[in-house]
Each structure stands twice: as structure tokens, then as C-alpha cells.
Amino acid sequence: MDNLIRIAAFNWLKDQVQFQGEVLPWKLLEEGFIFEGKQIHLVGQSGIWKPKIMQYPLSITTKFEGPYPDKLNKDGLIEYRYRGDNPNYWDNVGLREVMKLKKPLIYLYGISRGRYFVSFPVYIVHDDIAKLTFTVQVDEIDALNPQLGVEDTTALHYRRAYATTSVKIRLHQQSFRERVLLAYNNQCTLCRLKHPELLDAAHIIGDNAEFGDPIISNGLSLCKIHHAAFDKNILGINPDYFVHVRNDILEETDGPMLKYGLQALDNQKIILPYHRHNYPDRERLEERYEIFRRA
């Protein structure tokens, strides 16, 4: 029964991630899904969560602004703190059993209030009682077989190390996105579109460049059309927060998207965040606008 519920939970999460992305609301995770007439909650009061119907824990959670300093260490492994200071507390014992049986878990990392980055399957691979810490590795969902067994190959560690590092990168990306969209009240700064699934956090200065820091003042909340237009220098935003559309685009004649979605933005001021300290950085905008001018 435990394995069947675990498989059902992974399949349910795959569907949610496909439709909503890798960051899911706590309320959805708390509600969970129905399995053979029983409600299976994926999270609860404890960071190490075991639904009543299951024998072993199903998920581990690092709560947003929570009490435990979980982190990714230099070896590309997640360090997950015990619950409390007692190694024999039942939650900690449950995770120790999961490690021995090599059962996969769901890992949820809070990146903003009520919003959690979802990663699965993850495995407990080490237990450090002295440091009150479990070590966690992420694996690829496609590597999970129907019996939830783990193949014993020399490639296993390297595959998981790669998967864990990939999760770290996506976690930072999603954290940046959540913070930027929240600062802009979940709307496009150019057109006011308010559907988060159609919004991106665009970097003013690319994250691979100097001053491309993943901070709100280096971000813009843009719908996917305007993000692409910004990236391709079809439009630019000057340091005074006004939009300018490229001359050749202004001279084109086409349908309503061109007319109202792009041309109508020319010389319009962007919608700024509520808090001034979240405003786009003027120096970064100047640097980025110079690239638009050259284009």
C-alpha cells in the first residue's frame, strides 16, 4: 500500500507541475489527492510528513523563513535538519527507515509565503547523528521504476549529483521569478496581464553578465510576448521607465497584436512596483537600453 500511494503521489505531482509549473501553492499540496477513497495530504504541520494511511514518510519540507537552516552543500547534496534535537524522535526515525529501505520522497522548498518549489523523487543517502542532519539527493523521475526499487550502478551517484545541481539552478530561477512577480503584483509591467502562468521574470542584465544579479531591481515582470520583445530588442525601457518601440516595428502594418500589443506601448511609462526599493535599477536599465539603441 505504501508504494502504491507513493507512485500515485508522484503521478499526481507530475500533472500539477505540467499545468502549473514547479512552484505550487501550499493549499494545493495540503489538500492533496484521493487514493482509493482516502484523502492523501502531501504536507502537514510537520516538515517530515507521513499521511496516516502510510507506513513511512512521504515528503520533507523546508519552510519559507522556517527554523531549520537546510542547504545545498559543496558536494551538491542537500543537508536536511532533523526535527528537533532528539535523533530518536519518531519523525527522524521514520526518515531513517526510509533511507534504509531506499524509498523515494517528495522535497518541498518554500521560496515565498505559501509557495513551494517541488522536487521528486529524492532519497535520503546519509544520516549524521552528530550534526542532526540527513543528506538528500535528487534523482530523475524517469529513473524511478514501478516497484520503486533503486538500481545499483556506478552511474547512480553521478546521475543524482547532476540532478541535484540542476534542481539548485531551477530553484534559484524560480525563487527569482516568484519575488519579481510578487513585487509587480503578479502583472505584466507593460500590459497589466494578470495570469501568472503567462508571466516571466525577465532579467534587465542577463544572469551570466556582470551585475546580472538575481535581485528584484534587476528584474521585470513581463508577459511572454513582451519578454520575447524585450529580449530581442523590439522594445526597450529607458532609465526614466518609458517604453520605446523600434522604428521599423512602428512603421509596420499588421494585425491587432502589432498595433495594440507593441506599437501602442511606445512612449508609455511602465507599471512600477508598489515599493520604491523594488523599482528597476536605473543604471542597469541604461546599460540595457544602450543595447536596444544600437539594435
Structure confidence by residue, pLDDT tens digits, 146-174: 455 555 566 776 777 777 778 778 888 88
- The DSSP line for 6-73 is HHHHHHHHHHHHHHH-SEEEHHHHHH-EEETTEEE-S--SSSEE--TT-SS--EEEE-TT-SS--EE-
22-76 pLDDT per residue, tens? 999 999 999 999 999 999 999 998 899 999 999 999 999 998 766 666 666 666 6
Q: Phi/psi of residue 17, each to 5°?
A: -65, -40
What is the overall mean pLDDT for the chain? 89
What is the pLDDT averaged over residues 211-231? 95
pLDDT on residue 171? 82
pLDDT on residue 221? 98
Cis peptide leading into residue 121 (ω within 30°):
yes
Q: Judge if pTM exceeds 0.85.
A: no
Residue 211 has pLDDT above 70, yes or no: yes
| Residue ranges of domains in the chain, CATH in brackets | 2-174 (2.30.280), 184-294 (no CATH)
Query: How many whole angstroms from its chain centre is CA 49?
Result: 21
